Amino acid sequence: MSGPGKDEIESGQIHSGEEKGPSLKSGDEVLQIIKKGAEFTQELLKENERLRYRLVQAEEENFSLKKRTVKGVSGDELSKLQNRLELLETEKRQILERFRQVEDENKNFANRYLEIENENNNLANLYIASYQLHSTLDFKEVLRIILEIIINLIGAEQFAVMMLDEKTHQLNAVASEGMAKEDIPPITLGTGVIGNVAKTGESYFKEDLSHRGTINPADPIVCIPMTIKERVIGVIVIYSLLQQKDKFTNLDYELFTLLAGHTATAVFSSKLYSESERKLSTIQGFIDLLTK
Amino acid sequence: MARFRILVVEDSPTMRQLITFTLKRLKDVEIVEASDGVDGLKKISAGKFDIIFTDINMPIMDGLKLVSLVKNDPANKDIPIVVITTEGGQEDRDRALALGANSYITKPIQATNLLATATQLLKIT
């Protein structure tokens, strides 16, 4: 593209052929300039059109390139990607399945932990009860410990410890809580619930534990024999439980079993010890008399 | 030196042993035992405690009196007190809480309950 330069137009150095006088020459020159300007404009328009066309081409090329890229991926690469995706999906399913398994295992462990925790607590209670029962050889102290265990570990409110008199075959209350010993009459071996427990050595548990109101000494809710091997030396009789205690737990039954055996040995050994102490002091008295 | 000092005030040796045995499962604790309210007060005046567990029915001085004295003492009023008793009625619970007790556990005690209460009041995480 070429046209008249601005300097040429301004200086009037553009000529249009023959010289025909100053005014005519100037008119031709102007016409020439206009013509050249028109040509120049035409050239600009053409150039513009060409550039527009080129732009459209470039856009088409760009679009085609983009399309080609997507089409390229949808071939082998797409299939590979699909396979990879399936593989990942499978892995994800497996991981989720494993996660669920681990979650279940965790729940099982948590439950097992609670069970062991309960067992541990129960064992602690049993250990302490047993430890306390055998911590003394004083008969009254043993009775006090039995009462403490029944109140604090079992949660009984009214109860008594009855010992079997082997001469009269009667059970007599030797300690009680929540009621007077005197309110519990002697019970003959084999008579009623308490007498039968003492005779058979089998524990008694009443189904309805909601014992409220007046206590019938012959109608306990629980009666546990105190046994040394097969021999019953007394019974623990429970008439009512604490307000907040409405049922027995597994620990309570374990404690009853422990009480049945350990209270008997504790009571028996403390009694033997008291007797031997008494005999010893009598003998010592005689020796002192003889030697003085 | 232990991180937490716990005072157990209980007249029954069986219960005292059980509470102590259970609380020893908490980490880094020192447990001091007292057999009644007066003994408890002596132990409190002799050293700092982070929590007190007390029975209600005790000879010489009961647990409610102990709660009242501790909570009215500016030096010790912030020590959390847990009342342990055979009394399960709402009135007893309200009475203990009105005197300033921070928590209330009824006998027969559950080890998990005792530990949870101690953990909460000692702010063990």
Segment B48-89, tens digit of pLDDT: 999 999 998 888 888 889 999 999 999 999 999 999 887 666
**Chain A nearest CA to B75, separation (Å):** 33
Could you report the per-residue pLDDT of A14-47, keeping only the tens digit for each? 444 444 455 556 778 888 888 888 999 999 999 9
Q: CB-based contacts of A56: which residues, under 8 Å, 6+ apart?
A: none
Distance CA B105, CA B112 (A): 11
**88-127 in chain A: CB under 8 A from chain B:** 117-118, 120-121, 124-125, 127
3-state secondary structure string across chain B: CCCEEEEEECCCHHHHHHHHHHHCCCCCEEEEEECCHHHHHHHHHHCCCCEEEEECCCCCCCHHHHHHHHHCCCCCCCCCEEEEECCCCHHHHHHHHHCCCCEEEECCCCHHHHHHHHHHHCCCC
A249 contact residues in B (CB cutoff 8 A): none
Interface of B with A in 52-91 (CB under 8 A): 86, 88-89
Q: Are A88 and A94 in contact (CB under 8 A)?
A: no
What CA–CA distance (Å, rounded) separates A152 from B75? 33
Grouping H, G, I as helix, E, B as strand and the rest as coil, residue A222 is strand
Maximum mean pLDDT: which of A59-63, A93-97, A258-262: A93-97
Q: In what order do the strands lie in the sheet with A170-177?
A: A187-188, A170-177, A156-165, A231-241, A222-228, A204-205
Entry pTM:
0.70
Chain B hits for A243, Cβ within 8 Å: 88-89
Q: A3 or B53: whose pLDDT is higher? A: B53
* Residue A67 pLDDT level (bands cut at 50, 70, 90): confident
Domains, chain B, ordered by start = 4-121 (3.40.50.2300)
Q: What is the pLDDT of residue A275?
A: 87
Residues of B with Cβ-Cβ distance to A157 under 8 angstroms: 86
Helix (H) or strand (E) holding A91, with range, is helix A78-133
Q: Compute the nearest-CA separation of B120 from chain A (Å).
A: 19
Phi, psi of A281 (to 5 degrees): -70, -35
**Which two tokens mark B94?**
């309200």
CB atoms within 10 A of CB A284: 10
* Cβ–Cβ gap A155/B18 under 8 Å: no
Query: What does DSSP assign to residue A181?
Result: G
Using pLDDT thresholds of 50, 70 and 90, give the confidence band for residue A70.
low
**Pairing, β A156-165 against β A231-241:** antiparallel
pLDDT > 50? residue A181? yes
Q: How many angstroms separate the CA of residue B55 from the nearest CA in chain A?
A: 11
Does A240 lie at the interface with B, CB-CB under 8 angstroms?
no
Residues comprising chain B, all counted: 125
Give the integer Cα–Cα distance in Å for A167 and A149.
29
What chain A holds in terms of domains, given with CATH numbers, is 134-280 (3.30.450.40)
